[in-house]
Structure 1
């Protein structure tokens, strides 16, 4: 089952530590410590997540992956359902996004969430 289905996206997000999914901005928004790390609107729509600048350069050179609208330039990508990424690769990028956002939380917040 592809992560571009709402059920698979929600299941995967729930498997990551200290996460929640909220209905916001007409989509399903994955957060850690109240901070966004991934979004999907509806089944089959692009998945948006944070990446490193190096990953951004590589990913946006692929068909079906581009700069995410309304997010910081060169930091967030939008991945279409037909993009040439396997579910395992997509999961790895979403997990890395979760880790990047979690790392920016305060030490106290990370401890309260059990992330330290």
Structure 2
């Protein structure tokens, strides 16, 4: 599976409960409960945008090919280029973590309706 392709991205993201897709911002956007948690842009160089913790933000943005995501709220959103030194397993982790961070902000009622159970912190 290659998350930097539309096919691989969709195949993985569909496994996360309550996700929907829209095409906006020149990208393929995944949402949970109508809130963005990741997006794929397949332009000149494919890239994925995810939300992350402050600690992960500091670690990730120190790596080549990863920086603060343009047009997203200050910090905590990173843009990961296909050339970044992350394994597929690490990329899956960060997309999943982004999903969990965004889903945690939904109401309990909506999480229940969408079938979302989050790991205990």
TM-score by length of 2: 0.91
What are the Cα deviations for residues 52-89 of structure 1, in whole angstroms up to 9, with x where unaligned? 00000000000000000001121100001010000110
The Cα of 1:2 is off from its aligned counterpart by 2.0
Alignment correspondent of 2:9: 9
Alignment correspondent of 1:71: 72
Alignment correspondent of 2:37: 37
Instruction: Establish whether residue 27 from structure 1 lines up as the match of residue 24 from structure 2.
Output: no
The Cα of 1:27 is off from its aligned counterpart by 1.2
Q: Kindly report structure 1 stretches of 4+ aligned residues shifted beyond 2 Å.
A: none
The Cα of 1:91 is off from its aligned counterpart by 0.3
The whole-number CA distance in structure 1 between the counterparts of 2:16 and 2:113 is 16
Alignment correspondent of 1:96: 97
Could you list the runs of 5+ residues in structure 2 that have no partner in the other structure?
A: none
The Cα of 1:25 is off from its aligned counterpart by 1.6
Matched residue pairs, number? Answer: 116
Could you list the runs of 5+ residues in structure 1 that have no partner in the other structure?
A: none
The whole-number CA distance in structure 1 between the counterparts of 2:109 and 2:42 is 34
What are the Cα deviations for residues 14-66 of structure 1, in whole angstroms up to 9, with x where unaligned? 01111111112221100001100000122642100100000000000000000
The whole-number CA distance in structure 2 between the counterparts of 1:59 and 1:23 is 26
The whole-number CA distance in structure 1 between the counterparts of 2:110 and 2:60 is 31
Give the 3-state SS of the residue equivalent to 2:110 in structure 1: helix
